[in-house]
Structure 1
Amino acid sequence: MKKVLFGLMFVCLAATAPVAMAQTGSGTSVSYTENVLADEVGKEVLYQRALDWAQNHFSYGPKTGPKSDAAAGTVRVTGTGKVKPVATNGKEMEQTIRFDFVFRASDKGYEYSVGSFRLVPNPQNPEETEMLSDYISRLATEKGNNKTFNDRRVTAQANNLASEAAMSFRSFMNTMPAAEESSVGVPAAN
């Protein structure tokens, strides 16, 4: 009797379990965006902090096209990274990609994004780029993709780069120094 009940319970659980599906698409959308509430700090302080990160701590170089607007509270910079698809023989082929970091401050907080990924097909001409999503789609149609999975590999590497840049920025913003440390706890001495 116990075996019958156990078997019946197992069949019921298996019938109601969610169905697992294999990943069929390459998931070519690569970006990271976050909105952060920080209304107690102020737009100017947030802008200055983001500008400091973009100028002094942005480690995805060579960086190009830095733009900032204090009145609008925006900072924009283009960074560089690498992805490494592999040939059917297993040899890595390093490719340069570019991406944009965009920051917008407001009185209630800030928003930032890492996106607009572009491939630089020819390192001798870095201004000529191709959208990374188009490159990934092309990789998915290549003959040896069922062995190399380059479409998934490049997507994962670019997503990792986006997450890494976003975590670096967010970590920097989270370590914002107090505006007036001397006024915390005890009155400041003259």
Structure 2
Amino acid sequence: MKRGLLVVLSGPSGVGKGTVLKEFIDDPSLKLAYSVSLTTREKRPNEVEGVNYNFVSRDQFESAIKNGELLEYAEFVGNYYGTPLSTVNKLRDEGKNVLLEIEVQGCIQVREKCPDALTIFLVPPSMEELEKRIRGRNTEPEEIVQQRLAKANRELDMVGQYKYVVCNEDPKLAADIISIIIKRHMD
């Protein structure tokens, strides 16, 4: 059995990664398995444990770091986010294409450990549109919104770290483009 791909999807907060992902994640021809990240942040009202994230304590997360159990991890606005290495390897060994939706910092770590990773960066049509999307969530105080916007500006400077860059002006079109990219690498 051919080992599955490791597909990394990144982009600034509010770019619509989740929206685009919903458009192609269930396409059986892509043989995708979504890797659920660990996080120490609080669960949002619409999130489901084990689907959106695996929510863990800071001590549990730091133990996973210390024991080398994470493919990548990052800390943002006081919370950790990371990918369990054992889950990724198990799914890839089963022939599934593992999709990671992670931060830029995490992608750089993944590229160091898995140079064969297929990296895709989702960009907004403009910074004005990105700000509108972040504010439209109405889930965070102004201080966090400002931190996310500042971080987005820094992340957009990192597009050169990715093999592909896709603009999310139209989520369905962005999803179609990402699907084509994955299929081309499956051969």
**Common fold by TM > 0.5:** no
TM (norm. structure 1) is 0.23
Greater radius of gyration (CA): 1
